[in-house]
A = this chain, B = another copy of it.
């Protein structure tokens, strides 16, 4: 069995959301698992001097169009959420407060679905808890241990060079963007 693929993403990233719909099937075709690793784009933006796409002149208008078109291209249900983007600290903490990867992924998918399909503001801690509870999960997002663990995970991602979402690492090889899935697929067949 080959090592699992590292899948870094931010819960409010449209391209991260699109990737979340495709990564598991792609990995499975090549006998791989996926380790889901939410991070905070806001922290990465401080390192790269960037900001949320919609806030950038010219690029922002293009991005809003490209989100919708890319969702249609990949056949993924998508609705532009409002507000956008939102802080994903509570979502991230809820994820990392869980210890079972299956529960983590279950919650991650529900949070993505809430934000990008049902237009629920997952920037609000109360909504994150409500979604979690509906799955029978009881994440602790206010404990210091969970805060520390979340911060350590986000810092570890940055230390590995993760600056965007989605950011996929396969045996040390990094791929940024759902638009690198064609390269990822070829890489999984054989590194080139």
A58 partner, pick from B47, B70, B186, beta carbons under 8 A: B47
> From residue A81, how far is it (CB to closest CB) to chain B in Å?
22
Chain B residues, CB < 8 A from A62: 161, 163, 174, 176
Contacts of A162 in B (CB 8 A): 58
Q: A177-B179, A183-B70, A183-B73 in contact; A48/B44 too (CB < 8 A)?
A: no
Are B48 and A161 in contact (CB-based, < 8 A)?
no
Our pick among B56, B73, B163, B180 for the contact of A59 (Cβ within 8 Å) is B163
* Of the residues B70, B174, B179, contact of A65 by C-beta under 8 Å: B174
Size class of the A contact interface (CB-based, 8 Å):
20 to 34
Which residues of chain A from 136 to 192 have any CB-CB distance to chain B below 8 Å in the complex? 158, 161-164, 174, 176-177, 179-180, 182-183, 186, 192
Give the CA-CA distance A92 to B47 in the complex, in Å. Answer: 33
Q: Taking CB as reference atom, which chain B residue is nearest A55? A: B49
Of chain B, the residue at the smallest CB distance from A179 is B179
Residues of B close to A158: CB separation below 8 A: 58
Is A66 positioned at the interface, with any CB of B under 8 Å from its CB? yes
Q: Does A109 contact B (CB under 8 A)?
A: no
Which of these, B57, B179, B182, B192, contacts A49 with CB under 8 Å?
B57
